[in-house]
Amino acid sequence: MVSLLQALLSGLALGGIYGLIALGFNITHNTTKTLNFGQGEFLVVGAFVAVSAVLLFAGKGITGTLQPEDVTIARYFGSMIVTIIVLGMLGVALYFTAVRPFFGHAGLAWVMSTIGFGIIIQNTALAIWGPAPLAMPSPVGNDVIRIAGAGVLPQEISVLLASIVVMIALDLTLRKTKIGKAVRAVAHSSSAAALMGINVPAIVILAFVVSSSLAGLGGLLIAPITTASVFMGLTLALKAFSAAIVGGLNNPRGCMLGGFLLGIIEALVGLWHAELREISIFVLIILVLVLKPEGLLGQRYVEKV
Residues in the interface with another protein (CB under 8 A) total 37
Residue 17 CA neighbour count, 13 Å, CB half: 33
Only segment of 7-15, 30-38, 209-217, 284-292 that touches another protein (CB under 8 A)? 7-15
223: exposed, middle or buried (Cβ count in 10 Å: 0-12, 13-18, 19+): buried
Query: Which stretches does DSSP call E strand in 65-193?
Result: 145-147, 150-152
Query: Which residues sit opposite 147 in a β-bridge?
Result: 150
Using the rule CB under 8 A, is 231 a contact of another protein? yes
Of positions 135, 157, 164, 296, contacts another protein by CB under 8 A: 135
Distance (Å, whole) CA 277 – CA 62: 37
Of positions 27, 153, 245, 257, contacts another protein by CB under 8 A: 153
Distance (Å, whole) CA 216 – CA 305: 40
Residue 271 CA neighbour count, 13 Å, CB half: 16
95: exposed, middle or buried (Cβ count in 10 Å: 0-12, 13-18, 19+): buried
Using the rule CB under 8 A, is 275 a contact of another protein? yes
Of positions 108, 132, 168, 169, contacts another protein by CB under 8 A: 132
Only segment of 104-112, 173-181, 222-230, 291-299 that touches another protein (CB under 8 A)? 222-230
Using the rule CB under 8 A, is 72 a contact of another protein? no
Using the rule CB under 8 A, is 142 a contact of another protein? yes
Using the rule CB under 8 A, is 180 a contact of another protein? no
Of positions 23, 152, 183, 187, contacts another protein by CB under 8 A: 152
> Which long-range contacts link 193-201 to residues 24+ away (Cβ below 8 Å)?
none
CB of 226 to another protein, least distance (A): 5
Using the rule CB under 8 A, is 45 a contact of another protein? no
Q: List binders of another protein among 277-296 (CB under 8 A).
A: 277-278
- Residue 211 amino acid letter: S
Site residues for another protein per CB under 8 A = 2-3, 6-7, 10, 14, 65, 126, 130-133, 135, 142, 144, 146, 150-153, 225-227, 229-232, 235, 267-268, 270-272, 274-275, 277-278
